[in-house]
Structures are given as structure tokens and as C-alpha cells.
Amino acid sequence: MTQKLYIKTYGCQMNEYDSDKMADVLRVCSGMEPTEKPEDADVILFNTCSIREKAEEKVFSDLGRVRPLKLAKAGLLIGVGGCVASLEGETILRRAPYVDVVFGPQTLHRLPQMLQACRTTGRPQIDISFPEIEKFDHLPAPAFNLQNPIVGAQGQRFVSIMEGCSKYCTYCVVPYTRGEEVSRPVRDVMADILALIAMGVKEVTLLGQNVNAYCGVDEEGEQVDFAYLLQAIAALQGIERLRYTTSHPRDMTQRLIDVYASTPKLASHLHLPVQSGSDRILAAMKRGHTVLEYKSIIRRVRAARPDICITSDFIVGFPGETEQDFEATMKLIDDIGFDNSFSYLYSPRPGTPAAEMRCDTPPEVKSARLIRLQERIAQQEDAVALAMLGSVQRVLVEGTAKKDALELAGRTSNNRIVNFPGAADSATSQAMIGSFAEVVITQVVRHTLRGELLTPNTALKA
């Protein structure tokens, strides 16, 4: 009987991507099929995140919950991968001795062998090494995704172009969990994208912790930058839209900014985390840029692409953040006008330099700051939505709307979801999924956009 695989994913899109690859490698090498139900599984994998304490603790409570399954089903294997595995290694077995396999983000391609070794020896297997970019050479080509697209909506897929981070911001575990920045060669990235185009994919999102630090080699062995890679991908017939995430202000070169002017296929959305609007805090975080430099980047990006939407990450309550520092962040938010953000309270991570920094700000003050920041950004989000009223947007139809199966949902260039009635009959509507369509924005209900289809026929041809 076919063995069943259940994967639970925590954390960022890099983890989502990696989970997809785990499913691929186990399908191709071990003949396993995915299941949504842990109780049906023969292998349960947790792909974990350690960015904040809460994320890490959740993994251990979820592990506790699958423990009874292990007792009830002989032969069930439990694996822990991702960033918690990478940081904790063997310690995981001490806290959860029923875990069979511990693997890191760079060793997931070895899962079939590790699971097999565990079955034959009956002993837990641990491999959290960083064998550079080796994993990509051992993973099935993206075409296998077709049968089971865990990541990405119809017509769009993620492609990892670099791994790791070499920035060492003082609060962050990522360089320790994922290793230093390593870029995939241009040829490998292009091969993945060509395979996706052959599957009918029209939009790709390039993934990495700092995609704009990309520094890969081209066919001649010359080093090329991210701007080069973007243009090379945009030149491929079949790719209609390109996105990337996440980028770092320090690597936002003028060459990259110029791509916004020269390359319409590059989406009008930039996620550029700033974390804080205070130079003092940015320095303590070791972000490597000032508030003025960040503003200068945004000004130049907007000059190149006036309708671009900017989103960011913020950390509130970093050690030593004063009222004045926080007001500086609020001022930056007012000055820039963001459309959405990921904002969280600072969480001390063991082993990072910031975890040693003193902080006297009471928790309730930090929480109040976070609420204020999130409310202000929600207002800005509404303003962006209202400004889109009446505009015509080219959307990639991703599927049906969450609340109404007869409605379609599409993503705009600036990364907004629009719900709109599809064609008159449901078969024609369904056929539009995975294609581009033109939609006029007719209504804004809080952040949610509603629209009307403008060009059903061209949409079908697109």
C-alpha cells in the first residue's frame, strides 16, 4: 500500500517552498503520497520556524499532540526539519524522544535515505549540516509539482534563487539556521523556470532571505547580480509577471531600481523590510543603513514605477526603543505610506547579540505601540485600496473566492486580491483560473477589493 506523508509547515515562504520539495523528493524516491490528515500518515514531518519564541514553542506543543499517534501506529515515523531543527539538533530528541529524524533546511533532499536508515536501524537520524547548494542537485525538477502543487496558486510558482543570510542582524536567528548566503547558478534557475513555463506557469516569485543579494554565475562563469537575473527571466517568453521576496535595503542597487523602469513584467510591489524608523535602533539592529537611505531608495523606486506598493516588516519594542524612537518609526510610516506590513513585538532569541541587550520598556507599553503601528498601517492599506477604485487591473486568476465558489479571485500587480464574478457558466469561469484577466475595481470593503471582468475573451487567450 502507498505510504502516506503529512507535512505541517511553520514560518516563511522559504519553508513553504522547502515543504513542497520534501513532498516531491519523497514522492519520487520513496513513492509516498501526501495526506491532509496526520492520523492517516506513515510519516509526519514538521517543517519548523524559530524566528520568534512563540513559533518555536508551538512546534513542541504540536509534537506533543502527535505523540499518541506514534503509540497507536507501529512504524509511524516523526521528523522535525526547518529552522528549529537546525538550531536545536539533538536537543529536540531530549525534549521529544519519540522523534525519529531531525534534518535541516539544507539537508531535506537526504530525507528518503534518513527515513530508510531509521527504519532499518531503529535509531533516530540527525543531519543538520549545511552542504552548500547541494540540495538543488538532488531534488526532482519542478515538473513534478504539477500533480501536487502545495505551494503557489494556479498559474504561479515560487523559485528559490538563493539560500541563507550573511547579514547577522543582532536580533535574528536566520544566519544560524540557514547558513550564509549562497546563490544558485543562473543556468539552474533558468532550467527550473523553463520547466514551469512548460507546465503553463505564467508568474514566478523568486525566493530567498535576501534575494537582491543574489550573486550567481552565468554560463560563462561570470558573476552576475540580481538585476541581471530579473531581466534574463523577464526576457523569457511565457513569463508574464515576476515577483521576488524578501529583499534588503542594503542590496537595493540603482541597477535593480532601474529594472522597475525598464521591465514592465516586474510586478508593482516591493516588500522592503525597514524594521524601525529610528537611526539609533537601526544601528543597534546592525541593519547597515539609515532612515534617510531607506527613504532615498523608496523615492527612486517610485520615480521608476509611480504606482508601486511598498510593504515592510517592523519589529516593535527592540531593546532600548524609547518613545522617541517609536515616534520616529511612526513618522517614517507617515512619510512613506505602506500598503501592509508584517509587524511583531521583538522576541529575544538565545544566542543572538540582542538577547544580551537590556530593555526596561514595560511589555504593556510595547504592546500599545504595536497596536498603534498596526492601526496606522491598516489606514494606509485602506487608502491604497480606495485609490484603486475605478482603475483597471490586470490580475492573475488564482482560483475561486474564499467565501463564494462562484466568484473568482485574482492577484493584481501590486499584490492585492480582487474578487469578481467569473463568466456566466462555471466551466468557462474555471477555465480562466491560471490565466490573466482585466478587471475594473468597483468596490472596496475595508481592505478587500471587488471588481467586474472587462475582457473575458482576451482573458481566456492570455
Residues that bind ligand F3S (CB under 6 A): 11-12, 14-15, 49-51, 82-83, 173-174, 177-178
**Residue 165 beta carbon to ligand SF4: minimum distance, rounded to whole angstroms:** 3
For residue 81, give the nearest of 6, 158, 18, 166 by alpha carbon.
18
Cβ nearer to ligand SAH, comparing 275 with 435:
275
Instruction: Provide the Cα torsion 313, 316, 321, 327; round to 10°.
Output: 80
Do residues 353 and 172 touch, judged by C-beta distance below 8 A? no
**Residue 343 beta carbon to ligand SAH: minimum distance, rounded to whole angstroms:** 8
For residue 179, give the nearest of 104, 120, 249 by alpha carbon.
104
Rounded to an integer, what distance in angstroms lies between the CA atom of residue 163 and that of residue 112?
Answer: 22
| DSSP run (H or E) holding 127 | strand 125-127
Query: Is residue 209 near ligand SF4 by the rule CB under 6 A?
Result: yes
Query: Is residue 172 near ligand SF4 by the rule CB under 6 A?
Result: yes
DSSP β-bridge partners for residue 43: 5, 77
Rounded to an integer, what distance in angstroms lies between the CA atom of residue 449 and that of residue 386?
Answer: 9
Cβ nearer to ligand SAH, comparing 35 with 341:
341
Given ligand SAH, ligand SF4, ligand F3S, none, residue 15, with its beta carbon under 5 to 8 Å by kind, binds ligand F3S
Neighbours of 420 (CB within 10 A): 24
Q: φ, ψ for residue 257 (rounded to 5)?
A: -60, -40
Q: Measured on CA atoms in the order 347, 353, 354, 357, is the torsion positive or negative?
A: positive
Instruction: Provide the Cα torsion 345, 346, 348, 352; round to 10°.
Output: 150
**Residue 378 beta carbon to ligand SAH: minimum distance, rounded to whole angstroms:** 18
Given ligand SAH, ligand F3S, ligand SF4, none, residue 175, with its beta carbon under 5 to 8 Å by kind, binds ligand SF4
Query: Is residue 209 near ligand SAH by the rule CB under 6 A?
Result: yes
Query: Is residue 98 near ligand SF4 by the rule CB under 6 A?
Result: no
Write out the binding residues for ligand SF4, residues 243-262 only, by CB under 6 A: 248
Rounded to an integer, what distance in angstroms lies between the CA atom of residue 278 and that of residue 369?
Answer: 14
Do residues 160 and 134 touch, judged by C-beta distance below 8 A? no
Cβ nearer to ligand F3S, comparing 139 with 233:
139
Query: Is residue 210 near ligand SF4 by the rule CB under 6 A?
Result: yes
Given ligand SAH, ligand SF4, ligand F3S, none, residue 168, with its beta carbon under 5 to 8 Å by kind, binds ligand SF4
Query: Is residue 5 near ligand SF4 by the rule CB under 6 A?
Result: no
Cβ nearer to ligand SAH, comparing 296 with 448:
296
Q: Measured on CA atoms in the order 168, 173, 177, 178, is the torsion positive or negative?
A: negative
Q: Which residues contact 218 (CB under 8 A, 6 or more apart)?
A: 185, 186, 187, 224, 228
Query: Is residue 177 near ligand SAH by the rule CB under 6 A?
Result: no
Instruction: Out of 275, 341, 393, 413, point to the residue binding ligand SAH (CB under 6 A).
Output: 275
**Residue 325 beta carbon to ligand F3S: minimum distance, rounded to whole angstroms:** 24
Do residues 325 and 278 touch, judged by C-beta distance below 8 A? yes
Cβ nearer to ligand SF4, comparing 175 with 456:
175
Cβ nearer to ligand SAH, comparing 52 with 305:
52
In order of 26, 28, 70, the CA distances from 108 in angstroms are 10, 14, 22
Rounded to an integer, what distance in angstroms lies between the CA atom of residue 441 and that of residue 410?
Answer: 12
**Residue 172 beta carbon to ligand F3S: minimum distance, rounded to whole angstroms:** 8
Cβ nearer to ligand SAH, comparing 145 with 247:
247
Query: Is residue 52 near ligand SAH by the rule CB under 6 A?
Result: yes
For Cα atoms 140, 144, 146, give the angle at the middle one, nearest 5 degrees.
Answer: 155
Query: Is residue 273 near ligand SAH by the rule CB under 6 A?
Result: yes
Rounded to an integer, what distance in angstroms lies between the CA atom of residue 182 and that of residue 195?
Answer: 22
Query: Is residue 48 near ligand SAH by the rule CB under 6 A?
Result: no
Query: Is residue 172 near ligand SAH by the rule CB under 6 A?
Result: yes
Query: Is residue 333 near ligand SAH by the rule CB under 6 A?
Result: no
Instruction: Please choose, out of 68-76, 105-113, 171-179, 359-367, the segment that lies near ligand SAH by the rule CB under 6 A.
Output: 171-179
Given ligand SF4, ligand SAH, ligand F3S, none, residue 14, with its beta carbon under 5 to 8 Å by kind, binds ligand F3S
Query: Cell triple for residue 148?
Result: 501536487
Query: Is residue 165 near ligand SF4 by the rule CB under 6 A?
Result: yes
Contact positions vs ligand SF4 (CB under 6 A):
165, 167-169, 172, 174-175, 209-210, 248
